[in-house]
Structure 1
Amino acid sequence: MTDTSSRAVARALPWPIGKPAVEIVDHIQQGAFQRSMSLLVAGTSVISGMEVAYEHYKGSYSNPVMYTPVVLSGALAISGLAAFLSRRAAQTILRYVSYATLVDGVIGFGFHIRGVARKPGGWRLPITNIVMGPPIFAPLLFGTSAYLGVITSYLRREEDYGLLGSIEASAAAGLVNDFREDIRTGHFQKHLCIVAAISTLCSGAESWYSHYKDNFKFRVQWSPILLTPLMLFATLSSVRSRRIANTLLPVASGLLMANGIVGTGYHIRGILRRPGGRKKPLYNILYGPPIFAPMLMAAAGMLGALAYLMGREKHA
């Protein structure tokens, strides 16, 4: 049977991309990519912060708590940049800000549930009020950047590449012997698969009721809904099966990332087609299709792709 593991695929790539691809996979599978992940955390937090900023702007910031994700997304972006420059910042500031942002996402989820309950009919009209009320899963998806920040805080720096033996020796001596060691050594594939499944379910639900409000005017609006069960099967099956993790998971993850990119293009086109188009960019971004929402689906695919590149847990 053909070896489809990430390392084998990287080695099969033609020169000149084969060698750097192998080095990238080796860095990831040794957990030595903290700087790179720090930049990813900073970038994703800026995007999610912009998304929540204008969604809450449409809600007139009627509750002061609506400012917290905007502030925390900025703090997380700054923490990510600091973590890129400093190992200590990665292990302290980034970790604490990420945990605070995760907590804020859970609290926001509660507020959104309350917002749905307070609409006329409350939970007696669940479909109508979920569709027309605050996006119920958006606060949890906002926590994706924070989750990546937590993971990043336990990773090793790129310059630590090749020092894996000393860490394994420490684990054997009983100095480090838990999930943190799995993260530091790049062995947390199952964990990432579960998180990717949760992210896929939430983003798929968001896509469904967002496109439902538009009456699925375009057939392409069904694509994220149809890809959701495929990704759920791939991620959850990968927890038990290494073979699926090396075959179906990267395919499904790639499809989700591509779908998110294409969806962003459609949302930009939808904004430009509104009355005023480019002449009223702020208004049309606020009240047109949510410009960054498709990237939530792409983020779920990114988590799946990252899981594909990881090794299996040693302490599962």
Structure 2
Amino acid sequence: MQSKKAKSEAACRAFEGEVGDSTYGRAARRSAARPLARQREAETVVAARRLNRAAGMLAGSVLADSALEHYRGSFKNKAMFTPLIVAGLTLAMSIHGTADKRPDAHRARDGSYLLAAATGALGTGFHIYNVTKKVGGLSWQNVFYGAPLGAPMAILLSGLLGFCSERVRDNGGRRPHRVFNLPAGETIAAVTALGLLGTTGEAGLLHFRGAFHNPFMALPVTLPPIGAGLLARAALKGGARSRGLARWWMRLLTAMGFAGVGFHAYGVSRNMGGWRNWSQNILAGPPLPAPPSFTGLALAGLAALELMREARDA
């Protein structure tokens, strides 16, 4: 025969089971899940804002660089104003996205990022045409001194990374994040790695034209390819050690991009008249806005690594 205490405990357990299956119990479980969902949404927004910053850094570099280069070309083709307008719009949208803490994609940002990507693709075609129409066609001389073939790809990358940032933001609290129905971290890492290789090719071409007269000119053609390889390794292997090494290398590339502005400023000062003749030497010397493109891509790489970490921990 059961004791009064045993009967009381059995009654309590039965009551708890009924409550757990009741509407009240389900509401309690939903209330407990809400803080986790809000935390995941907040993490999603942080990841998207990192990509907005990366896209903005690239757009700012393109805006300043194309302004200088196209001014040097006297804007003889009215289409040369296009990258300035599009890069300026992309920079503004990236600043807006960096400040936006809502876990939803924004139509205006989406449109501007797609416009930037299309502008980069068309600009590449224009630059190839500019080189091939010169006497001698596609020759080293024309590649060295014609329109830079790889320059428009920077605004394409800015638009692509910005568009990816909106897709990440649209994931809300879902884990793992996906972009174009692919794992977000690995996809963005692949885009960043390819961008690093392309930017390295452009820097290598111009530094080769400068005969690598300063040993530091070798850094932009050696460090970024290693970073691209480390990103690819982190995406394929997915280990904490691989991600950690790639993360430190991305930080190194971030610093290299900013330091490159200083080296280019020194290169400008070595021209006749130095900074006293700045209006001519800025146009004739190494481009000051070009190195931060490495910083923008490194920031995208850091965002991709963080997305991969979150996916592994989900």
| Shorter-chain TM-score range | 0.7 to 0.9
TM-score normalized by structure 2?
A: 0.75
Residue 83 of structure 2 is aligned to residue 69 of structure 1: yes
| 1:41 Cα deviation from its structure 2 partner | 4.1
| Alpha-carbon distance in 1 for matches of 2:102, 2:117 | 22
| 1:82 Cα deviation from its structure 2 partner | 4.0
Alpha-carbon distance change, 251 to 77 in structure 1, aligned in 2, over 3 angstroms: closer
Residue 179 of structure 1 is matched in structure 2 by: 179
- What residue identity is the alignment partner of 1:46? G
Alpha-carbon distance change, 89 to 104 in structure 1, aligned in 2, over 3 angstroms: farther
Identity score, percent: 24
Query: Across the two proteins, how many residue pairs are aligned to each other?
Result: 270
| Alpha-carbon distance in 2 for matches of 1:251, 1:81 | 26
| Alpha-carbon distance in 1 for matches of 2:80, 2:134 | 18
Identify unmatched segments of 5+ residues in structure 2. Answer: 1-38
| 1:303 Cα deviation from its structure 2 partner | 2.1
| 1:28 Cα deviation from its structure 2 partner | 9.5
- What residue identity is the alignment partner of 2:77? N
Residue 116 of structure 2 is aligned to residue 101 of structure 1: yes
Q: Is 2:54–2:296's contact at 8 Å kept on the other side of the alignment?
A: no
String of CA shifts for 1:226-254, please: whole Å, max 9, x gaps: 22331232122233111264133223322
- What residue identity is the alignment partner of 1:190? E
Please point out which of 224, 237, 244 is paired with 1:228.
224
| 1:80 Cα deviation from its structure 2 partner | 3.1
Residue 266 of structure 1 is matched in structure 2 by: 263
CA-based RMSD: 3.1
Residue 187 of structure 2 is aligned to residue 191 of structure 1: yes
| Alpha-carbon distance in 2 for matches of 1:86, 1:255 | 28
Q: Is 2:45–2:103's contact at 8 Å kept on the other side of the alignment?
A: no
Matches within 5 A, 1:92-171: 92-123=107-138, 125=139, 127-156=140-169, 164=173, 167=174
Please point out which of 279, 283, 288 is paired with 1:282.
279
| 1:42 Cα deviation from its structure 2 partner | 4.2
Please point out which of 50, 54, 57 is paired with 2:64.
50
- What residue identity is the alignment partner of 1:107? L
Moved over 6 A (4+): 26-29
| 1:49 Cα deviation from its structure 2 partner | 0.6
Alpha-carbon distance change, 51 to 234 in structure 1, aligned in 2, over 3 angstroms: same
Q: Is 2:124–2:149's contact at 8 Å kept on the other side of the alignment?
A: yes
Q: Per the alignment, in what secondary structure is the counterpart of residue 152 of structure 2?
A: helix
| 1:178 Cα deviation from its structure 2 partner | 5.8
| 1:57 Cα deviation from its structure 2 partner | 1.4
| Alpha-carbon distance in 1 for matches of 2:238, 2:42 | 15
Q: Per the alignment, in what secondary structure is the counterpart of residue 282 of structure 2?
A: helix
Alpha-carbon distance change, 273 to 29 in structure 1, aligned in 2, over 3 angstroms: farther
Alpha-carbon distance change, 86 to 197 in structure 1, aligned in 2, over 3 angstroms: closer
| 1:101 Cα deviation from its structure 2 partner | 0.9
| 1:296 Cα deviation from its structure 2 partner | 1.8
| Alpha-carbon distance in 2 for matches of 1:191, 1:90 | 18
Q: Is 1:29–1:309's contact at 8 Å kept on the other side of the alignment?
A: no
Q: Is 1:69–1:104's contact at 8 Å kept on the other side of the alignment?
A: yes
Alpha-carbon distance change, 251 to 40 in structure 1, aligned in 2, over 3 angstroms: closer
Q: Per the alignment, in what secondary structure is the counterpart of residue 45 of structure 2?
A: coil
Residue 246 of structure 1 is matched in structure 2 by: 243
Rg comparison, structure with higher value = 2
